[in-house]
Chains A and B, each alone.
Chain A
Amino acid sequence: MLNTAGNKGRLALGAAVVGVALALSGCAQGDPLSPDEGSGSTDTIVVGSQAYYSNEIVAEIYAQALENAGYDVERSFQIGQRDAYIPALEGGEVDVFPEYTGNLLQYYAPDTTATQTDEVYAALADALPDGLAVLAQSSASDQDSYTVTQEFADANSLSSIGDLANVDGVVLGGPPELEERPYGPAGLESVYGVTVSFEATGDTTFDALVEGVVNVANIYTADPRIQTSGLVTLDDPEGLFLASNVVPLVNADLAEELAAVLDPISAALTAEGLVALNVQSVEDQLSSAQIATEWLTANGFVS
């Protein structure tokens, strides 16, 4: 273990070099503590998305459409919860974000009474803060639903959520937060007189339903497995769920110029079309970018 002085010097130098090299490799990426540098300019449009594969596909469609229209686009995908990305939008760090009218309205106006598509859209326009705007909404919707298996629907002659009131021992599955949502067990009780016990099933809600762990599941209506597995989405005549159409949420300053690119996209995106996009992701396992390019091509936005 005895070392010569030369060795020690070499080590100290080496250690310093390593330290500097590591430090540089950290710095080369820019300031690591502020990844989302706000782009106030209109040259680069920052498109964001939720941590939800279907939302990411729509964001990718927006991004590619904007690129085709000559914009520089920066993608800031998978930002998780509204808590994270709404401040980023309000602060101008993100310019465009695919949103859902009903869920977004509930974020800004938790006590809203609007439930139908156009009411929700109108209420949302009022509820948004000054710096944000929504462009034209799409007819495609992706909203919460209560969904059952065909067998369970047949056995209990179910077509609407209210029919569940005649069934004993209903177990509702959904993400953990459903337990506390206004449309969760409490809403079922107050709006439809349906009593359920709740089971948190998160990202495995679909499996829990088809495997019989739960018999009613909170599944998004654009989930392709509703069709592929022959599930039945119960009608919601009392409007427990808000209508929730796909809509671009944008920086208000850019609303006009972005509308020119994104309004035709929203017009072309249908409910069936959205499900088809999701099928390509889940069944065909294509990436968001591939799916978006194919959709833009098929709908004549790219030749």
Chain B
Amino acid sequence: MGPKGPLAHAGGVVMTLFFDAFAWILANLGPAGEGELWTRIGEHVLYSLVSVAIAAAIAIPAGYLIGHTGRGREIAVAISGAARALPSFGLILFFVLLLGTFGVGLGVRVAAGSYIAFVILAIPSILAGAYAGLEAIDRSTISAARAIGMTEWQILRKVEVPLGLPLLIGGLRSATLQVVATATLAAYVNLGGLGFDIIQGLPLRRYDQMLGAALLVVALAFALDALFGLAAQITERVIPDGRSAPRPRQHRAGPKWSRASSAGTPAHN
């Protein structure tokens, strides 16, 4: 290891690896990369946003129904719990194979299989964000709206949806981060995205490429997280806090950790 000792040596190796990774990123984002890396980034963003949009189209109405009526919550919790226990990587491969047995073409079954897995992954967080957002609203606010003669539909649209927005955004945020993380694995069935460079780099022993792509996925996740953080801040500022009415003492911490927990829901895989 030389006179500097193993620690200094290891530090040097780390520096070199990260330097090489950044060099790989820059080289491939530049003209020499022929835009391939940009395509991968674009694919990754596209898969993530489309899946979250589909999941939102399913989960938000369902969540609002549960939150508004106060019914079906137990079922939603049970289904969400089961969905969270499913390993997304396995789900992707399973749906790709399963669609194959029905004679679906390769390109379609790879895309459809991956999207189904992503949507299943994204639904629990969005669903929880939607109904928890409505449930977090102080009951007296709803009663007041009803007292001044609002219809149920108006209550939902004018009171519950705006006041529930922060928690819904939290749910969308964690769903998006989960899908961004998991979309990396879809490269195993050749969907593309940034996972491609990691999966390709594994057998080639190209650590600059693997590390570079990994850092890009992380950067993408951070960027989207920051965007949602911004959206959450704007919402908090624009929308009056309908949840700050007095509540039983033991529940004082309630809103705080419910917000945290819906933003920090598990687990990308």
B-contacting residues of A (Cβ < 8 Å)?
A: 1, 81, 83, 175-177, 179-180, 200-204, 207-208, 211, 213
The answer to whether A204 and B190 touch (CB under 8 A), given A176-B199, A213-B107, is yes
Contact B105 A211 (CB under 8 A): yes
The answer to whether A204 and B200 touch (CB under 8 A), given A83-B205, A211-B105, A211-B106, is no
* B189 at interface, CB cutoff 8 A: yes
> Using an 8 Å CB-CB cutoff, how does the interface string of B192-211 with A read, 1 for contact, 0 for none?
00001001101111100000
Contact B203 A177 (CB under 8 A): yes
Chain A residues with CB under 8 Å of B196's CB are 176, 200
B contacts with A: majority SS = helix
The answer to whether A1 and B250 touch (CB under 8 A), given A207-B100, A208-B106, A213-B106, is yes
- What would be 14 A-B contacts, judged by CB atoms less than 8 Å apart? A81-B202, A81-B203, A176-B190, A176-B196, A180-B200, A180-B206, A200-B196, A202-B199, A204-B96, A204-B106, A204-B190, A211-B105, A211-B106, A213-B105
The answer to whether A204 and B250 touch (CB under 8 A), given A81-B202, A176-B190, is no
A-contacting residues of B (Cβ < 8 Å)?
A: 96, 100, 105-107, 110, 187-190, 196, 199-200, 202-206, 250
Closest to B107 in A: A213
Q: Output the least CB separation between A175 and chain B (Å).
A: 7
Question: In the assembly, what is the distance between CA of A176 and CA of B191, in Å?
Answer: 11
Q: Output the least CB separation between B153 and chain A (Å).
A: 38
Closest to A207 in B: B106
A contacts with B: majority SS = helix
Contact A202 B190 (CB under 8 A): yes
Contact A179 B200 (CB under 8 A): yes
Question: In the assembly, what is the distance between CA of A83 and CA of B100, in Å?
Answer: 32
Contacts A202-B189, A213-B105 known; 18 new A-B pairs at CB < 8 A: A1-B250, A81-B202, A81-B203, A175-B203, A176-B187, A176-B190, A176-B199, A177-B200, A180-B204, A180-B206, A200-B196, A200-B200, A202-B190, A202-B199, A204-B106, A204-B110, A208-B106, A211-B106
Identify B190's interface contact among A1, A83, A180, A201, CB under 8 A: A201
- Which interface residue of A177, A179, A213 has the most chain B CB atoms within 10 A? A177
